[in-house]
Structure 1
Amino acid sequence: MIETAAPWAKNKLYFRPKLLDALKGYSRAKFLTDLGAGLTVGIVALSLCIGLGIASGVTPAAGLYAGAIGGFLVSALGGSRVQIGGPAGAFVGLIALMVAHYGVADLLVCTMLAGVILFAMGALRLGSLIKFVPHPVTVGFTCGIAITILSTQLRGLFGLHLTQEPAEFLPKLAALAGAFASVQWSTVALSGVSLAIILLWPKRWSRVPGSIVAVGAGVLVVQLYHRLGWSTDTIGSRFGGIPQGLPGFHFPRFAWDHLGGLIRPAFTIALLGAIESLLSAVVADGLIDDRHDSNQELMAQGVANFVTPLFGGLPVTGVLARTATNIRSGAGTPVAGLVQAGLLVLVLLVAAPLFTDVPLAALAAVLAVVAVRMGEWGEFWLLRKKPRGDAAVFLTTFGLTVLFDLTVAVEVGMVLAAVAFIKRVADTTKIHEMTGEQAAAGGQGHEPVKDVPRGVMIYRVFGALLFGSAEKLESIIRRTGGDTRVVILHMAAVTAMDATALNRIENLHAKLRRHGKHLVLSGPHTQPYFMLEKAGFFDALGRENIGADLEAAVARARVLAASR
């Protein structure tokens, strides 16, 4: 436990794993429940970890190391009672590209950098900022990742023979299409059987996952194929099996001149990991009526992603599907996650040789179903009902994720979302000229004001004055006639302003003064008031030219209009 003296921590422990609270009053009954849940989710994680290791362009062992070591650290140190950590499909495309371009050693270093970033995000209490990632960006790259995962499984589903499978999407499709003549029908049959088992497995038997049954059935089919003289790729034939025992500790060797190129993908892994884990934690909260600590969760993810690569493991995050399985199985504390990790360790120590005959077609079927289920395909149907800006952000993020990589997709998607937001804010910001009759009628955020003198123009500003909308203030100068003596800027409905808006108001004041005219502000409050005050604009304008309301501003304008 670490105690912080930072003022924002309010003298509370800010590195406090949920496990510490969960163990208070822990009983034998709770342990037995967590034990059953942990074993169940461990069985589910087993095939997924192996499959994700293969799909990522590394080894099945790397996926198991991530599930065992990373999963243990996430459960032991995390901020959620039921979060399950491990390798995730969301990372598949990014990892495959990194391995193809940089190699495994650089991937491990990049993952460690992501761990440092995640821990820093949690330590700086930035967990709540993840909610500012727009929904179209999140859904766009999620659907894109699903397509990427599907593309990586086509080779395994059809048993295609490729000397080298490109990491990029379009070259990959071209290579797969060129190799289609080599399709293995025995593998296709095995893939079909595996898919049928997973998709048709009865819900009432959900305590035994359909994916594990499919993999087990696949092993039996492989034995039958051996007797018939048929062949299909297995973990043993492709990778030589899974090494028995725990991995050794080693710091990855890499070229230091590559470090600069790893920063961007490290930030992408960190951001994606944060989004995935916190989204999973939020959903879990709703299922168990609890509240997670997002900052603690980020710090745990950071530790897991820094330590796991030292043992050859993949990037780690909280995984919604496994977390939901954990909850449905009755888990109530992080002990279930520790049991899940322990089961994977036991497999590595004792049962690794048994996975030699696991067919890649069965694992491909498992991941293909995972990909289809993770994509939010209904979003495409809803595009016609969404604002054009949001639709453009979604489609752009989706397309860039598939055609290029997740790093570019997230960067461009966030920029487009920001532009769409700024335009939306700018469109809602209005500047209206108020006539004397409108001022006298009241009802627009002010009390009725009568007898507005000649030569006084009132402009009511509504909305946020930000850099996308501040140029609308320039129109005031164009509207002022030669007989205008005073311009009143009624700001009671201005909710926020930025430096650009401040600059435009200063320019408006300067131009009016050059033409012998006056500016009076009416009703600035909260953030706009303090910003104008801090910038010294009230002193430049003259505090007597600041009206608390429109009536006070008109009274001051009456004095200025009468003066010569």
Structure 2
Amino acid sequence: MLALIALTMFIIEYLPRLTKVIPSTLAAIITGTLITLGFGLEASTVGDMASIQGNLPSFHIPDIPFDLATLKIVFPYALIMALVGLIESLLTLNLVDELTETLGQPNRECIGQGVANTTTGLFGGMGGCAMVGQSIINIKSGGRGSLSGVSAALFLLSFILVGSSLIERIPIAVLVGVMFMVVIGTFEWCSFRLIGKIPPADTLIGISVAVITVFHDLATAVIIGVILSALVFAWQHAKHINASVSTNRMGGKVYELNGPLFFASVHHFQEIFDPKNDPDDVVVDFKNARVADHSAIEAIDKLAERYLKEHKRLHLKHLAPECRQLLKTAGDLVEVNVVEDPNYHLAVDRKDFEEKV
């Protein structure tokens, strides 16, 4: 088996240097199969795994009760299949674009795949998506247009309908060799060179996604990877908020904030100020800061309460209108520069917004 794998990989790698008349992958499969049959070698074949013979499908609506109980059973699997299918198709499209130096249409791909899988379900078929391995083989064999994909589908159909007896004789070792070459060609080998040169968090996320993909599934791995990336992003940007401190002509202390104020940076925001040691008048200028969410608004409100307890006046400048309207502590405590306030909007709940106003 190891010898067949090595021979297959050798043919795929070096045959194109001699001739491109016949696709190297096809030549490797034919050569490995003929050697196995000609010398009577004992090797596991496709037929030993399962039969691929089939017939043309017929229209059939699933004979199941269409109620919530059925939906609860089907929905989790449908969601995972949709996520895996979309992710793999988009990854394949991205890889094909890199190899062919073209620009694909991901929206069109996703819609077409959804329509096709919905239709397939009405004929008792399985869901499908773009495949990295088959696409790479197609491209390296010279396929560039839509006809190459159509041809691959028609040949696959012919194998199932009339050529199953031939395909089932192909040794598994030959197919393993083909897939090894696909993996070698698609793996990002530069990832190893980046270890130690990129932030440790990025390295950890990449390894985590790879491990979860192997032991669980691609959809779960991608979702966890996105969550981890979002947490790392929030943690890093939480440290970006800071303040330039100065004194104005009236003897008041001015904090000129810089950076985003959101749920992750609230703690750093509170640490900037010192209500006990600050003078009676304190100005917080939000000209270079961005208030992003409700947590930020609550942090501003708590800051105002801290200064109120110390019997000191807090002035907020360049604060967005939504922030001013949602602050609970108002009256003489808060002075807002309306003229120079930015006019951006926060993503707030309308009902909650109206209640607080």
TM-score category (smaller protein)? 0.7 to 0.9
d(CA) in 1 for partners of 2:95 and 2:260? 33
Q: 1:459 aligns with which of 237, 243, 255?
A: 255
Check whether the contact 1:521–1:547 (CA below 8 A) recurs between aligned residues. Answer: no
d(CA) in 2 for partners of 1:365 and 1:285? 25
Which residue in the other structure is 2:53 paired with?
Answer: 243
Give the secondary structure class of the aligned counterpart of 1:202.
helix
Change (3 A) 1:343 1:539: farther
Aligned ranges for residues 63-102 of structure 1 at < 5 Å? none
Give, in angstroms, the shift of residue 374 of structure 1: 2.7
Check whether the contact 2:260–2:292 (CA below 8 A) recurs between aligned residues. Answer: yes
Check whether the contact 1:465–1:497 (CA below 8 A) recurs between aligned residues. Answer: yes
User: AA paired with 1:191?
Assistant: I
Q: 1:208 aligns with which of 2, 13, 22?
A: 22
User: AA paired with 1:350?
Assistant: V
Q: 2:36 aligns with which of 222, 225, 228?
A: 222
Which residue in the other structure is 1:488 paired with?
Answer: 283
Which residue in the other structure is 2:346 paired with?
Answer: none
User: AA paired with 1:508?
Assistant: L
In percent, how many aligned pairs have the same letter?
A: 26
1:306 aligns with 2:102: no
d(CA) in 2 for partners of 1:412 and 1:278? 18
User: Residue deviations 1:56-82, cap 9 Å, x none?
Assistant: xxxxxxxxxxxxxxxxxxxxxxxxxxx
1:349 aligns with 2:165: no
Which residue in the other structure is 2:243 paired with?
Answer: 431
User: AA paired with 2:264?
Assistant: G
Structure possessing the higher relative contact order (Cα contacts under 8 Å, 6 or more residues apart):
1
Give, in angstroms, the shift of residue 467 of structure 1: 0.8
Check whether the contact 2:29–2:175 (CA below 8 A) recurs between aligned residues. Answer: yes
Change (3 A) 1:321 1:220: closer
User: AA paired with 1:494?
Assistant: A
Which residue in the other structure is 1:388 paired with?
Answer: 200
d(CA) in 2 for partners of 1:472 and 1:261? 45
d(CA) in 2 for partners of 1:393 and 1:464? 24
Change (3 A) 1:329 1:275: same
| Unmatched runs of 5 consecutive residues or more in structure 2 | 342-357
Give, in angstroms, the shift of residue 462 of structure 1: 0.9
Give, in angstroms, the shift of residue 301 of structure 1: 1.7
Q: 1:499 aligns with which of 265, 281, 294?
A: 294
User: AA paired with 1:231?
Assistant: E
User: Residue deviations 1:243-291, cap 9 Å, x none?
Assistant: 1532455567899979657655543433333233234445555746555
d(CA) in 2 for partners of 1:466 and 1:225? 70
Which residue in the other structure is 1:358 paired with?
Answer: 170
Aligned ranges for residues 441-460 of structure 1 at < 5 Å? 451-454=248-251, 456-460=252-256
Change (3 A) 1:386 1:252: farther
d(CA) in 1 for partners of 2:120 and 2:33? 29
Give the secondary structure class of the aligned counterpart of 1:246.
coil
1:329 aligns with 2:329: no
Alpha carbon RMSD of aligned pairs, Å? Answer: 3.5
Check whether the contact 1:246–1:348 (CA below 8 A) recurs between aligned residues. Answer: no
Report how many aligned residue pairs link the two structures: 337
Q: 1:518 aligns with which of 303, 307, 313?
A: 313
Check whether the contact 1:532–1:538 (CA below 8 A) recurs between aligned residues. Answer: no
Change (3 A) 1:281 1:363: closer
Which residue in the other structure is 1:508 paired with?
Answer: 303
Give the secondary structure class of the aligned counterpart of 2:43.
coil
Give, in angstroms, the shift of residue 492 of structure 1: 1.1
TM-score computed with the length of structure 1 as normaliser: 0.52
| Unmatched runs of 5 consecutive residues or more in structure 1 | 1-186, 437-450, 551-564
User: AA paired with 1:236?
Assistant: G
Aligned ranges for residues 359-374 of structure 1 at < 5 Å? 359-374=171-186
Check whether the contact 2:133–2:179 (CA below 8 A) recurs between aligned residues. Answer: no
Give the secondary structure class of the aligned counterpart of 1:435.
strand
Change (3 A) 1:340 1:190: closer
d(CA) in 2 for partners of 1:537 and 1:546? 18
Change (3 A) 1:313 1:411: same
1:471 aligns with 2:285: no
User: AA paired with 2:314?
Assistant: L
Comparing both structures, which one devotes a greater share of its residues to helix?
Answer: 1
Give, in angstroms, the shift of residue 316 of structure 1: 2.2
Which residue in the other structure is 1:545 paired with?
Answer: 336
Change (3 A) 1:219 1:321: closer
Check whether the contact 2:261–2:296 (CA below 8 A) recurs between aligned residues. Answer: yes
Change (3 A) 1:245 1:199: same
Give, in angstroms, the shift of residue 235 of structure 1: 2.3
User: Residue deviations 1:401-441, cap 9 Å, x none?
Assistant: 33444454334322221211111111222134x123xxxxx
d(CA) in 1 for partners of 2:32 and 2:63? 38
Check whether the contact 1:473–1:508 (CA below 8 A) recurs between aligned residues. Answer: no
Which residue in the other structure is 2:83 paired with?
Answer: 271
d(CA) in 2 for partners of 1:266 and 1:375? 29
User: AA paired with 2:298?
Assistant: N
d(CA) in 2 for partners of 1:190 and 1:472? 61
User: AA paired with 1:242?
Assistant: I
User: AA paired with 2:196?
Assistant: R
d(CA) in 2 for partners of 1:210 and 1:304? 31
Check whether the contact 2:315–2:333 (CA below 8 A) recurs between aligned residues. Answer: no
Give the secondary structure class of the aligned counterpart of 2:163.
helix
User: AA paired with 1:233?
Assistant: S
Give, in angstroms, the shift of residue 499 of structure 1: 1.0
User: Residue deviations 1:198-227, cap 9 Å, x none?
Assistant: 23222464453222112111221232133x
Q: 1:378 aligns with which of 190, 195, 199?
A: 190
Check whether the contact 2:314–2:333 (CA below 8 A) recurs between aligned residues. Answer: no
Give the secondary structure class of the aligned counterpart of 1:478.
coil
Check whether the contact 2:262–2:293 (CA below 8 A) recurs between aligned residues. Answer: yes
